[in-house]
Amino acid sequence: EKGGYDHFMLKEIFEQPTTIADSLRGRLVLNEQKIILSGVDAIQDKLANARRIIIVACGTSWHAGLVAEYVIEELCRVNVEVEYASEFRYRNPVISSDDVIIAISQSGETADTLVALERAKEQGATIFGIVNVVGSSIARISHAGCYTHAGPEIGVASTKAYTAQLAVLMLFALKLAKAKGTISDERFNELCQELNDIPEKVQWVLENEVDNIKAIAYKYKDARDVLYLGRGYNFPTALEGALKLKEISYIHAEGYPAAEMKHGPIALVDEELPVVFIASKDAYHEKIVSNIQEIKARKGMVISVMTQGDEVTPTISNDVMVVPEADEVIAPLLTVVPLQLLSYYIGVYRGLDVDKPRNLAKSVTVE
């Protein structure tokens, strides 16, 4: 049932070229330059007139929501807020019938998310569910939605569900942007093509980087703390990388926006501290390079996720994990993959049960 892999987590990481493609299939219609999402059509007027979009989720799904905030605001020019479901449900938020709520959940059963949606629905908001498990509670409470087609996820740490969520959120953003007229045809086509190419780029990482990442994992497996830093579209990737490491290896890890480092966390940096930078080529690349230099100047050890062909990043990093070039908007689907593998192999080298980390449950149905 693990298909020849040692663990479900590894199998699920390797399934991603397929599960991302499955989540795009029949929806991204390249030759007609359109995106088919009947759930979006069903609430088209609500979406076109939405005062804001509020994304509600927990854990890894919340990280997918953060990526979506950057993408939807950029492409659709609508205000997006991302909420931890547990905070949102208890704080008496101001919600109206002009709000559209996007709920993101792999299991569709997360209690905090479900109750937050019930409250918002009572106050007149429209609920759009992005859920993996068909017929689950969150799918049923939603007015409309779009399933991720990741297939059953067995490993407790979410991997393929996360990239499937990102794929669907990218489709959502592109479709809404086109409907609102906030994206040029040229940019729309370019991003559709980029999205279409993502499965094979993920495949490239799986075929070419695993031995390198294993060696890096072995080298850093005894770290006590690890810092993950990224900017822009890849700031949420830093949070997700840190969460994966915590869950799987029990190493303390924190994700931060790279520029926030100097407001506190930089005090942690010494020759013992590995710092993972998500440094793929994007509009912020020069800024990330100077953040890496700040860490090096304090003798921190730098591990960078970088774009193939980047000649600068290897000269200032102790270790690098390479991904193919991708548009910055779409890149979070790709840059997370080396971080999933890094956490997996560190967990394995530490002799831990990576499929069932202590204290964690696959579906959190209690608050």
Active-site residue set: 362
Cα–Cα dist 128/132, whole Å: 13
In contact, 136 and 10? CB cutoff 8 Å: no
Binding segment (CB under 6 A) for ligand F6R, from list 52-60, 166-174, 298-306, 331-339: 52-60
Binding segment (CB under 6 A) for ligand F6R, from list 1-9, 106-114, 259-267, 302-310: 106-114
Closest contact distance (angstroms) between CB of 120 and ligand F6R is: 16
By beta-carbon distance, which residue lies closest to ligand F6R? 59
Closest contact distance (angstroms) between CB of 9 and ligand F6R is: 10
In contact, 275 and 229? CB cutoff 8 Å: yes
Closer of 205 and 239 to ligand F6R (Cβ) = 239
Closest contact distance (angstroms) between CB of 237 and ligand F6R is: 14
Site string for ligand F6R, 197-236 (x = CB under 6 A): ----------------------------------------
Nearest CA to 327 among 188, 189, 195?
195
Establish if 16 lies at the interface with ligand F6R (CB under 6 A): no
Instruction: State the DSSP H helix or E strand holding residue 204, giving kind and residue range, or none if neither.
Output: helix 185-208
Site string for ligand F6R, 108-147 (x = CB under 6 A): --x--x----------------------------------
Cα–Cα dist 226/247, whole Å: 13
Closer of 85 and 326 to ligand F6R (Cβ) = 85
Closer of 308 and 363 to ligand F6R (Cβ) = 363
Establish if 340 lies at the interface with ligand F6R (CB under 6 A): no
Nearest CA to 126 among 27, 57, 51, 68?
51
CA 108 to each of CA 27, 101, 134, 154, 229: distance values in angstroms, whole numbers, following the listed order: 22, 15, 8, 14, 30
Side-chain half-sphere exposure of 223, counting CA atoms within 13 A: 32
- By CB under 6 A, the residues from 253 to 312 that bind ligand F6R are none
Binding segment (CB under 6 A) for ligand F6R, from list 58-66, 214-222, 227-235, 334-342: 58-66
CA 250 to each of CA 67, 242, 329, 346: distance values in angstroms, whole numbers, following the listed order: 25, 11, 31, 10
If one counts every other C-beta atom within 10 angstroms of the C-beta of residue 48, the result is 11
Closest contact distance (angstroms) between CB of 62 and ligand F6R is: 7
Binding segment (CB under 6 A) for ligand F6R, from list 38-46, 66-74, 102-110, 344-352: 102-110
Establish if 343 lies at the interface with ligand F6R (CB under 6 A): no
Cα–Cα dist 240/162, whole Å: 9
Which residues, at least 6 apart from 103, have a Cβ–Cβ distance to it below 8 Å?
A: 55, 56, 57, 113, 116, 117, 127, 128, 129, 130, 131, 138, 142, 145
Residues near ligand F6R, by CB under 6 A: 58-61, 105-107, 110, 113, 157-158, 243, 247, 363-364
